[in-house]
Amino acid sequence: MKAPLLVEIFTEELPPKALPALRDAFARTIRDGLIARQLADGAARVDAFATPRRLAVRIADVAAVSPERQFQHKLVPAAIGLDAAGNPTPALRKKLDALGLEYDAARIECISDGKQEILRYQGVAPGIPLGDGLQAALEDALARLPIPKVMSYQLDDGRTTVQFVRPAHRLIALHGDAVVAVQALGLQSGRETRGHRFLCAEPLRIGHADTYEKQLFEQGKVIASFEARRARMTVLIDAAAARAGAKPVMPAALVDEVTALVEWPAVYESGFEEAFLEVPQSCLVLTMQQNQKYFALQDAQGRLRNRFLLVSNLETADPSAIVAGNARVVRARLADAKFFFDQDRLQPLESRLAGAEHIVYHHRLGSQLQRIDRLTALARAIALALPESQRPEEAAVARAARLAKADLGTLMVGEFPELQGEMGRIYARQEGEREDVAQAIEEHYQPRFAGDAVPASTIGACVALADKLEALAGLFGAGERATGDRDPYALRRNALGVLRILTEKALPLSLHGLVALAFDIFAASESQTFSRCEGEVLDFLYDRLRGMLLEQGYSANETEAVLSLRPERIDRVPARMEAVRAFMQLPQAASLAAANKRIGNILRKAEAAESTRTEALRDDLLQEPAERELAAAFHAAAPEVDRLLAAGDDAGVLRALVPLKLPVDRFFDDVMVMVDEPALRANRLTLLARLRTVMNRVADISQLAAG
């Protein structure tokens, strides 16, 4: 008999930020455990539920008993297992006992393994009862939950200690309308659960697995589905905001967290004094979001209003006490934010740099002030490396770099680290710094995460590059590395930031030159424990670039064709990737790529066999018509490739290779390269080497060859 299976663990309030992950892991592991034991089908519908006080899963069409299954066991050699009369020996009976099997002549057959006759047992195992399969799956699910921090608590007997994410009080296991006998966390399964903490006083008896969420909704005042509860809450927030003539600030992370805090969301409006609006908007919003989980309200122009929405777990006809209580709480929080803001403005940003001398940046890299000095020097060097037409004012770059980290010592950033850079911009602007300097202070952290914007200004881009390159050079030089999923110093994020700024801002800078500049600023000051590992940092950057291009949809062959040349101008890489993609559409592309690969193989073998080769191509040694034709095609193509490359026409460079196809094909059909005569052989190798160089100015097209 098949029926839906419901499993629920009812607990104390679960950690809200971890709730979706706990729900998914709980449902997935129980489902997989039942599938592995053939009690459920992989295509069966799975409904996962999660509220502040429960994790649950319902799986459709679960069998009461798994199907019987046939099995085989090799036993012992026939000569050992049977006596002369064909009766079982003690050795055979001992082997059967060890396997938990009875002797049954009808189930034992004699087979050959190629060396000797072996006895084999063929049997039928009975199906696994659902209770046994669910017990194993439930234990596995609880053991593998991604619990942020385990709690230890005692059961009602006062002696038994249990460890779980939060104390568990009830366990439901229903197959259809029947209880499945299992136990976990010191609990025996049943059909009772609890509804809303305040709106449902009596325990709920779940009659059937299919009525679970309906009973919780109608009788228990609980919306069991996380998604349904989230959707209802957002509808209520939007409606309340519309009534107030405002727009709610609803970051997805906050919406998810509040959804995990309530079982039956109710939305109310409250407010605070207008005087607090003198504090920067982002400070007020973060205060409301992080400390109180409120949803700030903005007007049509995006200006913060002195009203906010709160989501309560208690629906009431008279919410005045809830509204007033939350107004009192937020007033205290906003007063703290205003105090931080007022105190920070008493001390200019630059005066805070003296304190950075006493803050250790890294035990091998000195203080935060030393880092600021390096950052300033590197930002200026990067600005000077730009073409004059793109070069920002050196003094502005130096000033922005000097003040970029000054806000780290402010009270506001100490309370809300997410505001670093933004508070620096706000304070710099209020202190009369140039607008482009203030803007660059905020921008230098960009991009902060995947999808974040790169700095809009060139000053910001110079300081951002300096910040990230100084971190990469310094931390690599000090022996720090990103390993597996560990990257405590955000080396990957810094590398991706460098690459994105160079490409998206189209900055004509050499990546190799930038890394060298970054190491140069450490050269005079660091100890012998500091390693100048430019090659390793470049490898790290190219690896990140490879991942970026693959994520953008380029193939592995296209990516390797461009990156195997380790292009220094990262701003040219997007155009080269598109040029390679366009080249592959040409009818001559496959033949040219294959020829290029063949040339590379010949040159590698020749270099292994010979220590020298003629450097100049000698026309007098071009004997065969095919090699003279190829040399002529090369001499025609080379200056055209140079011209197109100088003009930045990467696609044109690759199209200019098309006339080489027929001469290259004829050369390989008619000419023997590795002839015995040394001068002739060396001249032909030189021709191929020169040809390969011209063909690979934009990309190593041999990487595009099939196979």
Say whether domain 356-553 belongs to CATH 3.30.2170.
no
Strands (E), 472-615: none
C-alpha distances in angstroms, 442 versus 302, 312, 675? 20, 36, 66
pLDDT at 611: 45
C-alpha distances in angstroms, 390 versus 434, 458, 568? 19, 8, 19
Instruction: Check the CA dihedral 475-480-485-486 and report its sign.
Output: negative
The residue-averaged pLDDT of 67-84 equals: 84
C-alpha distances in angstroms, 421 versus 349, 383, 397, 441, 504? 12, 20, 15, 6, 21
Candidates 1.10.730.10, 1.20.200.10, 1.20.120.50, 1.10.1740.10; CATH matching 576-704 = 1.10.730.10
> Looking at 27-31, 50-54, 101-105, 415-419, which range is the least confident one?
101-105
Q: How do 187-188 and 183-184 pair as beta strands?
A: antiparallel
pLDDT at 620: 87
Q: What share of the chain is helix, strand, coil (3-state, %, to 5)?
A: 50, 15, 30
Rounded Cα gap, residues 181 and 189, in angstroms: 6
Q: What is the pLDDT of residues 274-292, one digit of tens each?
A: 999 999 999 999 999 998 9
By the 8 A CB rule, do 580 and 698 touch?
yes
| pLDDT at residue 525 is higher than 90 | no
What's the whole-model pTM score?
0.82
Percentage of residues in the chain with pLDDT exceeding 70? 98
| pLDDT at residue 527 is higher than 60 | no
The residue-averaged pLDDT of 452-472 equals: 97
Instruction: Check the CA dihedral 547-551-557-562 and report its sign.
Output: negative
Rounded Cα gap, residues 522 and 465, in angstroms: 16
By the 8 A CB rule, do 160 and 27 touch?
no
Three-state SS string over 486-504 comes to ECCCCHHHHHHHHHHHHHH
By the 8 A CB rule, do 192 and 204 touch?
yes
pLDDT at 612: 44
The residue-averaged pLDDT of 96-108 equals: 85
Rounded Cα gap, residues 508 and 385, in angstroms: 9
Instruction: Check the CA dihedral 412-415-417-419 and report its sign.
Output: negative
Give the pLDDT band (50/70/90) at residue 528: low
Q: String of b and e for 494-532 (b: at least 16 CB within 10 Å)? A: bbbbbbbbbbebebebebbebbebbbebbeeebeeebeb
Give the pLDDT band (50/70/90) at residue 309: very high
Q: What is the pLDDT of residues 173-213, one digit of tens each?
A: 999 999 999 999 999 999 999 999 999 989 999 999 999 99
pLDDT at 57: 98
The residue-averaged pLDDT of 442-447 equals: 97
Instruction: Check the CA dihedral 622-627-632-638 and report its sign.
Output: negative
CB atoms within 10 A of CB 379: 31
Q: What is the pLDDT of residues 612-654, one digit of tens each?
A: 454 788 888 898 999 999 999 999 999 999 999 999 999 999 9
Rounded Cα gap, residues 403 and 409, in angstroms: 11
Q: Across all residues in the chain, what is the average pLDDT?
A: 93
By the 8 A CB rule, do 53 and 11 touch?
yes
Which is more confidently placed, 225 or 101?
A: 225
Exposure on the CB side of residue 61, measured as CA atoms within 13 A: 8
| pLDDT at residue 609 is higher than 70 | no
Query: What's the N-to-C CA distance of the chain in angstroms?
Result: 54
Name the strand (E) or helix (H) holding 310: strand 304-312
pLDDT at 123: 83
Phi, psi of 340 (to 5 degrees): -60, -45
Q: What is the pLDDT of residues 314-348, one digit of tens each?
A: 999 999 999 999 999 999 999 999 999 999 999 99
Percentage of residues in the chain with pLDDT exceeding 90? 82
